[in-house]
């Protein structure tokens, strides 16, 4: 027996094994592109290419998702600031570099 999909939905972006990370990545992308008000569990699921209920396996509610986005965003900021200051030997230059990384022009 051969089966053929007749679904007209776009191909899924998510591949098994890293759904939580994909949901966080899509949530951060939504924040960057459209602002924090654009983030919802349903919209993050849509962006990741999974059902809305799949999100609840990793985040019980929007607050949990937003907390994960804040943690990841803070980790990325810290990494960017550390990288910007890493090559500086002068303390003032290192401090200035972290400031530039903070505002996104490092």
Whether 51 is in a domain gets the answer: yes
pLDDT tens profile 59-75: 999 999 999 999 999 99
Rounded-to-integer distance, Cα 106 and Cα 95, Å: 12
The CATH number assigned to the domain holding 48 equals 1.10.357.10
- Predicted model pTM: 0.76
The end-to-end CA distance of the chain, in Å, is 58
Total tally of structural domains belonging to the chain: 1
Whether 7 is in a domain gets the answer: no
* HEC letters along 45-94: HHHHCCCHHHHCCCCCCHHHHHHHHHHHHHHHHHHHHHHHHHCCCCHHHH
pLDDT tens profile 5-21: 444 444 455 556 799 99
């Amino acid at each position: 027996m051969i089966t053929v999909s007749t679904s007209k939905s776009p191909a899924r972006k998510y591949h098994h094994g890293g759904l939580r990370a994909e949901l966080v990545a899509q949530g951060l992308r939504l924040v960057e592109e459209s602002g924090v008000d654009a983030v919802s569990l349903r919209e993050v699921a849509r962006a990741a290419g999974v059902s809305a209920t799949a999100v609840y396996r990793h985040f019980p509610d929007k607050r949990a998702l937003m907390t994960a986005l804040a943690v990841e965003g803070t980790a990325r900021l810290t990494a960017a600031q550390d990288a910007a200051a890493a090559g500086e030997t002068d303390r003032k230059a290192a401090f200035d570099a972290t400031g530039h990384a903070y505002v996104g022009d490092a």
